[in-house]
Structure 1
């Protein structure tokens, strides 16, 4: 049985499409299809249902995929152990990051990593917190940058920095000249939040509990960038992480106002699997984050 066939099968399971799985594996669609058919012949079972306009894993296929993930993770561990003996800061590193952090942290982080570990090839997997937890457990990513709390069995975390929240209002809003805003003032039907399932949404509702009293009437957006545009158009107000209003993300169409102390914030951390075989890479990544000079991030000193 070829390891490549297991990789193709897992790619198909993740993508739900032969064409997308082939693209992800950098091979042609016929090559991937033949490899999956040969795997079925070798195992003597049907892993994939095939019908006109429809392909999907069989029940047995799902079980084989789960075992294939474990086998591939162990294969990666063998490769990493060998690589660690040479140089743990070379080769590939797969970094997960959640949507509300990635666009704002990654430009500076990638530049910092190029200075500290230029021989490392970085692959980014941006997704929601729940998916990052699965990616870590199944070995899809080596580490992930997430917001705490992140209590997952077998996963270690290291706090990196705290990031305050800010209220954003459109130009001409009555709060436009305010220096500070109290969290209890952020309420009413014009408050924009992210859709359910996003951890930043829950952090905002915790920080401004009066918002959640009108759960059914909340205006919702799919991303921070969508919410920023909605605020700029005068559709409402919102609460964003400070980095989303810093540097290139500043806009003359919206005004960012700090909260009164104690200001709500989120704690951003690095997460990785217990027993990960390249601890030097985790340490180097954490140091690369802490080398970033951005007033939106309040770095947490290592102990």
Structure 2
């Protein structure tokens, strides 16, 4: 029988691929650099195949086979982790650590009211948060470093299951005194002649705003890094934009001289959850969805604010 690689060898391999440095990979695996190097060499001998190119450079360079093995090692480690997760989920559902990834156009505006709601609904759950762009969160999910994502759908999520939890409408944001500020609502055609301000490439909200306005191109080359910056650019008279209702309710307009107008043809984005297909915790995630949907809704926002005010009064 062909000897199988050990889980530790696979961890060495994945850490080296992720960090691109023997010393940092060894530190991440809590071993010495010589131990990690010996583990990789032993794996090559065991498989009778070259995983790394041997050369003068210090940075590890993977062979084509090595890159394929890294991908298989990720899946194998995720499958091993699922064994423990399945047992834990059966013993005590919705408890223990949960690594949640959230995109920047959701996190700052939803988490202040979502976290208390989740703590009340699932007191034994230990949430670890990671905020990043969709593409990087998808990589983290696929690699098993995240368990669940909260993001805008649709998204490129290979081998993931998704569940829609809420619709997030868009509002047009104009600077005070803008020629369209007196309109009751704005047709999308009116925005087409305006300078549309957008987030930087990589933010899914950028593509959604372009799609809502029927703009095929990338728009203005000068883009904002966050919704807060985008709002300040609008307030400064540089152009107009579309803002999600979630961010508006979350206070993104605080102190800004911006006028909001509904769109004549309603537009918006779909918010949802994503997890690895065949995850043993899939049913837990589905059970969490109503709590998350309630927190996103305007009624949920008001309920959380009322509860916070009541708690403040009791404290005083």
TM range (shorter): 0.7 to 0.9
Partner of 2:88: 83
Secondary structure, in 3 states, of the residue corresponding to 2:114? helix
Q: Which has the higher strand share?
A: 1
- What runs of 5+ residues in structure 1 fail to find an aligned partner? 299-303
Among residues 158, 174, 178, which one is paired with 1:173 in the alignment?
178
1:238 aligns with 2:269: no
Taking the aligned partners of 1:48 and 1:241, their CA distance within structure 2 comes to 48
Q: Contact conserved, 2:231 with 2:252, CA < 8 A, in 1?
A: no
Which stretch of the first structure deviates more once superposed, 227-236 or 289-298?
A: 289-298
Partner of 1:3: 7
How many residues in Structure 1 have an aligned counterpart in Structure 2? 292
Q: Contact conserved, 2:20 with 2:59, CA < 8 A, in 1?
A: no
Secondary structure, in 3 states, of the residue corresponding to 1:263? coil
Structure 1 position 5, deviation (Å): 4.5
Partner of 2:288: 285
Among residues 11, 14, 21, which one is paired with 2:18 in the alignment?
14
Taking the aligned partners of 2:194 and 2:183, their CA distance within structure 1 comes to 20
1:39 aligns with 2:39: yes
Mark the CA change 1:82 to 1:186 in structure 2 (over 3 Å): closer, same or farther: same
Root-mean-square deviation (CA), in Å?
Answer: 3.1
Taking the aligned partners of 2:286 and 2:70, their CA distance within structure 1 comes to 32
Taking the aligned partners of 1:201 and 1:251, their CA distance within structure 2 comes to 22
Taking the aligned partners of 2:51 and 2:296, their CA distance within structure 1 comes to 54
Q: Contact conserved, 1:88 with 1:280, CA < 8 A, in 2?
A: no
Taking the aligned partners of 2:296 and 2:194, their CA distance within structure 1 comes to 37
Mark the CA change 1:109 to 1:38 in structure 2 (over 3 Å): closer, same or farther: farther
Among residues 261, 268, 273, which one is paired with 1:258 in the alignment?
261
Structure 1 position 64, deviation (Å): 2.4
Partner of 2:308: none
Larger radius of gyration: 2
Structure 1 position 290, deviation (Å): 2.6
Structure 1 position 77, deviation (Å): 0.8
Q: Contact conserved, 2:196 with 2:220, CA < 8 A, in 1?
A: no
Taking the aligned partners of 1:174 and 1:91, their CA distance within structure 2 comes to 54
Which stretch of the first structure deviates more once superposed, 78-87 or 44-53?
A: 44-53
Among residues 213, 226, 249, which one is paired with 2:252 in the alignment?
249
Within a 5 Å distance, the mapping from 1:1-303 to structure 2 comes to: 2-17=6-21, 25=28, 27=30, 31=31, 33-43=33-43, 44=45, 45-47=50-52, 54-150=59-155, 154-188=159-193, 190-209=195-214, 211-212=215-216, 215=218, 217=220, 219-292=222-295, 294-295=297-298
Q: Contact conserved, 1:99 with 1:126, CA < 8 A, in 2?
A: yes
Q: Contact conserved, 1:89 with 1:280, CA < 8 A, in 2?
A: no
Deviations 1:193-227 (A, max 9, x none): 12344322221112112x44x64645423332332
Taking the aligned partners of 2:247 and 2:270, their CA distance within structure 1 comes to 15
Partner of 2:311: none
- What runs of 5+ residues in structure 2 fail to find an aligned partner? 302-316
Taking the aligned partners of 2:54 and 2:234, their CA distance within structure 1 comes to 46
Which stretch of the first structure deviates more once superposed, 134-143 or 241-250?
A: 134-143
Secondary structure, in 3 states, of the residue corresponding to 1:163? strand
Taking the aligned partners of 1:296 and 1:189, their CA distance within structure 2 comes to 33
